[in-house]
């Protein structure tokens, strides 16, 4: 936690604690954030050529912390300290099996992350397709109801037209023969 004295000046560009300081204080959430914000610090070494990855494996930090340091600088995996130990060598003596497995094959972990990301993307696409299918089904349902209503209306109108069609047809026949209603009236007299 940073305490600010009133009237003092703090530049947001100035690191408050280095990555190594945070590792030593076991502030692992802050370590992860720091490694992401300042990845170059993962490449820093002390006078014994110990890197941040050496320290987190020595401390048996949580796997997500080790992964964050590795992601910040994958090359640290191959750096030997002054005693000739790589982070994997240190992990073999001090760290959990899951950290050892990760350091033995970090590419596998990266592939797993890539596949998980791809799976998440596919799930999102599937959800979008399901939503679109639901929307289209609702639209189809609405159109079916409208079609059935229209079909009933059309059938009713057709019946009305059929009934009135006779009258129209008879009048049309009379007009085509040149006989008007007045003519019928005169014949009837």
**Residues in contact with 81: Cβ distance below 8 Å, sequence separation at least 6, in sequence order:** 48, 49, 50, 51, 54, 90
Q: Which residues of the chain have pLDDT under 70?
A: 1-17, 164-189
**Domain end position, chosen among 104, 130, 164:** 104
Q: Which domain holds residue 83?
A: 19-104
Q: Are residues 119 and 182 in the same domain?
A: yes
Query: Is residue 116 domain-shared with residue 99, that is, in the same domain?
Result: no
In a domain, 5, yes or no: no
pLDDT at 136: 86
Question: Is there a domain that residue 7 lies in?
Answer: no
Per-residue pLDDT tens digits for 129-161? 999 988 888 888 888 888 777 778 878 877 877
**What pLDDT shows up at residue 13?**
43
Please indicate, yes or no, whether residues 90 and 116 belong to a single structural domain of this protein: no
Q: Does residue 115 share a domain with residue 74?
A: no
Q: What is the pLDDT of residue 141?
A: 84
Last residue of a domain, one of 104, 137, 170: 104
Q: How many domains does the chain have?
A: 2
From the centroid of its chain, how far is CA 129?
14
List the CATH number of the domain containing 40.
1.25.40.20
Tokens representing 177 are 């023969």
Q: Residue 184 has what pLDDT? A: 44
Asked if 120 and 94 sit in the same domain, the reply is: no
Buried b (16+ CB within 10 A) or exposed e, 131-157: eeeeeeeeeeeeeeeeeeeeeeeeeee
- Residue 180 inside a domain? The answer is yes
Evaluate whether residue 44 is within a structural domain: yes
Whether 64 maps to a domain, the answer reads yes
Q: Where are the alpha helices (DSSP H) in 44-105?
A: 52-58, 63-72, 87-94, 97-104
pLDDT score, position 5: 38
- Which pLDDT score, from 0 to 100, does residue 8 have? 34
Structure tokens at 116: 């998980």
């Amino acid at each position: 936690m940073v305490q600010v004295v009133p009237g003092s000046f703090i530049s947001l560009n100035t690191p408050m604690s280095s990555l190594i300081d945070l590792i030593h204080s076991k502030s692992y959430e802050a370590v992860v954030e720091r490694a992401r914000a300042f990845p170059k610090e993962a490449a820093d070494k002390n006078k014994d050529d110990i890197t941040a990855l050496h320290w987190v494996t020595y401390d048996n930090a949580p796997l997500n912390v080790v992964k964050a340091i590795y992601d910040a600088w994958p090359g640290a995996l191959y750096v030997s300290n002054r005693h000739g130990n790589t982070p994997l060598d240190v992990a073999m003596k001090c760290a959990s099996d899951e950290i050892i497995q990760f350091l033995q094959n970090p590419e596998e972990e990266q592939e797993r992350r890539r596949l998980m990301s791809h799976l998440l993307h596919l799930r999102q696409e599937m959800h979008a397709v399901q939503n679109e299918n639901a929307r289209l089904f609702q639209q189809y349902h609405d159109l079916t109801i409208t079609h059935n209503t229209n079909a009933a209306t059309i059938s009713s109108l057709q019946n009305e037209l059929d009934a009135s069609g006779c009258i129209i047809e008879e009048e049309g026949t009379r007009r085509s023969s040149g006989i008007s209603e007045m003519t019928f009236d005169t014949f009837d007299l």
